[in-house]
Chains A and B, each alone.
Chain A
Amino acid sequence: MSVAILHQGDYLIASIQSDLTDSQVLRLRDELAERVGRHRARGIIIDVGAMDVVDSFVARSLRSIAVTAKLRGADTVVVGIQPDVAIAMVQFELNLDPLRAALDIDEALAELNQLATRSSGDER
């Protein structure tokens, strides 16, 4: 599989190494949903920087990963979307709101940490 999923602290980092086939995307979704529970992860970072093409299936799958992970208690941040890919993705007219995005992994970690701080603040 051309996706490496790393476990780091409270977070899972999925690094996509090349363009994915539809079945690989589905496997990634299932794998992430399963590992969120196993590692009790609070956040998922998906690096799509190596992807030159994101079709509507992949975009919808990324969205469903985010929604699924949210139901399992983790926020999803996609990083490294290329400009061309971003333009293509907004033209699918999908509601990508559940999907958070950041420029790179550093940014994504900062954003997830912030989210964690805020939600723990709420609990108090």
Chain B
Amino acid sequence: MNTQALTGARLQGPEVDSELLHQLVEYLRQNRTELREEWARRITDAQLLSVMTPEEIFSEVTAVYDNYVDALETGSVETLQAYARDLSERIIPRGVETHEVLGIVLLLRDVLARSLFVNYLHDPDLLNGILDAYEPAANRIAVTVGVSFVEERERVIREQQDAIRELSTPVLQVRERLLILPIIGMLDSARARQLTEQLLGAIQSNRAKVVVIDITGVATVDVTVANHLVQTVEAARLMGASAIITGLSSKIAQTLVDLGVDLGMMRTVGDLQGGLEEAERVLGYRPDGTNGTAPEDT
């Protein structure tokens, strides 16, 4: 849902009597203290916002309540929306869930509706008019708060995805001319491409001759991922570096065989340790650490 559309729209239709609305707002202002307390009590009873202290809940409740009444009065949800964003920003890191936020907004709606009901019980016509003014506005407000929360959450998720993407592809130099590239997590096309670029850049700047690509941390390998690996290895070869793939689990190896992916041209070694030993052999190091002669064929 687009909050911009919500912001632009007036909360009430033209048929709503502004006199009634005024009366409604007056009523909510007069009973501010007890309605707030009732709301906070209901939140605690329902065990929502359990990560926050009662004092915190009460102060947030007060702020939301005032913003809520203002939004009812002016018909503009902008202030409330800004507040909801700000609130979401503060409570998301503390682990508040979407259902809790929706829950407390709906609770407020219930608390106010019931209180209106009790207050205007003596005059059903007036009650009807008041509820006509109240309900659409209250629903819009509930939607606004919910959407603001979800949008904020999505923004946080996007930021984290970006961060993970950058963090998860380090290219490390282990020895002169030997790089390792540990791959962790999902490999999709975008990430495989970025990873290849990073690796090739590192090959060029470190003058690497051997690259060990460790995929112990890759949970699943499908045809697409396997092809990405083949392309990465081939691209590395074109840069003058030979690649060794390590960490193929038995499950992944079987999957690849079942899929019929041809990794025959790739050099694979069981684990990272074996891969490093193989790499050092290619570079001409002896197992005892001295630099031997006669480097292996590549």
Contacts and interface: CB of A to CB of B under 8 A. Distances in A.
A116 interface: no
Given A90-B234, A90-B238, A83 B201 contact: yes
Given A83-B200, A103-B207, A118-B297, A89 B238 contact: yes
Given A96-B234, A103-B207, A87 B193 contact: yes
Contacts of A111: 298
Interface of A: 78-79, 81-87, 89-91, 96-97, 99, 101-104, 107, 111, 114, 118
Contacts of B297: 114, 118
Interface string B217-255: 000000000000001001111111100000000000000
26 contacts: A81-B239, A81-B240, A82-B204, A83-B197, A83-B201, A83-B204, A83-B235, A84-B197, A85-B238, A86-B200, A86-B235, A86-B239, A87-B196, A87-B231, A91-B231, A97-B265, A99-B238, A101-B237, A102-B240, A103-B207, A103-B209, A107-B209, A107-B240, A111-B298, A114-B297, A118-B297
Interface of B: 193, 196-197, 200-201, 203-204, 207, 209, 231, 234-241, 265, 295, 297-298
Contact of A87 (B197, B209, B237): B197
Contacts, number: 56
For the residues of B in contact with A, the DSSP-based class is: helix
A122 B193 CA distance: 41
Contact of B239 (A91, A96, A101, A114): A101
B239 A90 contact: no
B238 A103 contact: no
A101 B174 CA distance: 23
A81 B238 contact: yes
Nearest to B200: A83
Contacts of B196: 87
A87 B240 CA distance: 13
Contacts of A107: 209, 240
A79 B240 CA distance: 7
